[in-house]
Homo-oligomer: A and B are copies of this chain.
């Protein structure tokens, strides 16, 4: 049976492959995007889990939009006006997929940052979107490029990760947030704000969502995967009711609704008086790991490498002298450290600068330092330009 055209173009996921290779116990993996298992607040979920079988109604079919008591809680927590609504999804990844299915026809133009979250490229690729990209500087997307893109390519939407970007760690400045919202309003481009790392700020000042500056022209994706548990698969999508209604229609066909016992567990966790403290502890843990990684990179990396500082999230982006980063990643794997090379985060047709994404949330300080020493050792032996790009 021939597979659909939309699926034929999906590349095998390099990250999945490297994660499989990295399962060797001797390899230190900085390749994944996994939170540390020890941060999962199982003790705060336990009271709800223990009482789960007394909530018989969550084991019955329920509304596509989500578990009503949780929807009520989130509506208040997100301070949504009556004109807006929130729905629950099987991870924010599903929310993104619903947006693409509800709004993107083949060849519709979607703007995104480059580099960009891999899962977003997969989703928009499956929707056969025409992807156009805008480069980043340390304060966010390049505004002149973005305006030119909006003017000449007239994208339907602009997808971005303004808080602790995956893979670069960039967090947009307040001014850049306002500028982007203004451009979206001016050119009537809907802003798709993906905020999975937003709670993981361990330095600097918390900033408003970009969507706060264009609330009627945006959709926000949130996730519990980084502060609670990715295995539960829980995320939300919120925005104007008229934007969300088509997502509900698609979700009804996609899976009727997401697991209700999972949503009951999430509600219990969000209402737990110790949950805010718990997030504080995760931030502290990740800050210290980031500090360790950053310091080791500054200490050991050879000249010509640049490390992007970050104020939160899970990733550090290291730019390198021009080289074949796939070949480099393979050499590093042979030296027992797993990283993700930059081209993975760019649409196939675009030119990726040489860089590596390093994750600092799922390795301990000793592993982080050893991993950097191994990377430095390989880079020291490398003559740049390394192979042909």
Are A16 and B255 touching (Cβ within 8 A)? no
Taking A232-B259, A259-B262 as known contacts, 13 extra A-B pairs with beta carbons closer than 8 A to each other, sorted by chain A number, are A1-B103, A3-B102, A6-B101, A10-B249, A35-B60, A40-B60, A46-B53, A57-B231, A61-B231, A90-B258, A93-B255, A125-B253, A261-B262
Give the interface SS of chain A, mostly helix, strand, loop or mixed.
Answer: helix
Q: How far is the CA of A262 from the CA of B232 in the complex (A)?
A: 8
User: Shortest CB–CB separation between residue A270 and chain B, in angstroms?
Assistant: 16
Question: Given the interface contacts A1-B156, A259-B259, does A254 sit within 8 Å of B93 by beta carbon?
Answer: yes
Residue of B nearest to A250 (CB): B7
Are A59 and B34 touching (Cβ within 8 A)? no
Are B231 and A60 touching (Cβ within 8 A)? yes
Are A61 and B97 touching (Cβ within 8 A)? no
User: Shortest CB–CB separation between residue A55 and chain B, in angstroms?
Assistant: 9
Residue of B nearest to A39 (CB): B59
Q: Is A288 an interface residue (CB 8 A)?
A: no
Q: Is A94 an interface residue (CB 8 A)?
A: yes
User: Which residues from chain B contact A10 at a C-beta distance below 8 Å?
Assistant: 249-250, 253
What are 29 sample pairs from A and B whose C-beta atoms fall under 8 A apart?
A1-B103, A1-B190, A2-B103, A3-B103, A5-B105, A6-B101, A7-B249, A10-B249, A10-B253, A16-B64, A34-B60, A34-B61, A37-B56, A42-B53, A46-B53, A60-B229, A61-B231, A90-B90, A90-B255, A91-B256, A93-B255, A94-B254, A119-B253, A119-B256, A125-B253, A231-B260, A233-B255, A233-B258, A261-B265
Are B37 and A253 touching (Cβ within 8 A)? no
User: Which residues from chain B contact A93 at a C-beta distance below 8 Å?
Assistant: 253-256
Residue of B nearest to A98 (CB): B254
- Among A35, A53, A260, the one with the most B-chain Cβ atoms within 10 Å of its Cβ is A53
User: Which residues from chain B contact A61 at a C-beta distance below 8 Å?
Assistant: 32, 34, 225, 230-231
The 7 residue pairs across chains A and B that have the minimum distance between CB atoms: A59-B229, A231-B260, A90-B255, A122-B253, A42-B53, A94-B255, A59-B231
Q: Is A76 an interface residue (CB 8 A)?
A: no
For A53, give its contact among B7, B49, B126, B255 (CB under 8 Å): B49
Q: Is A43 an interface residue (CB 8 A)?
A: yes
Q: How far is the CA of A126 from the CA of B261 in the complex (A)?
A: 28
Question: Given the interface contacts A61-B230, A259-B231, does A42 sit within 8 Å of B16 by beta carbon?
Answer: no
Are B233 and A259 touching (Cβ within 8 A)? yes
Q: How far is the CA of A246 from the CA of B266 in the complex (A)?
A: 31
Q: Is A201 an interface residue (CB 8 A)?
A: no
Q: Is A352 an interface residue (CB 8 A)?
A: no
Question: Given the interface contacts A101-B7, A255-B233, A256-B91, does A56 sit within 8 Å of B42 by beta carbon?
Answer: yes
Residue of B nearest to A249 (CB): B10
User: Which residues from chain B contact A2 at a C-beta distance below 8 Å?
Assistant: 103, 156
User: Which residues from chain B contact A58 at a C-beta distance below 8 Å?
Assistant: 231
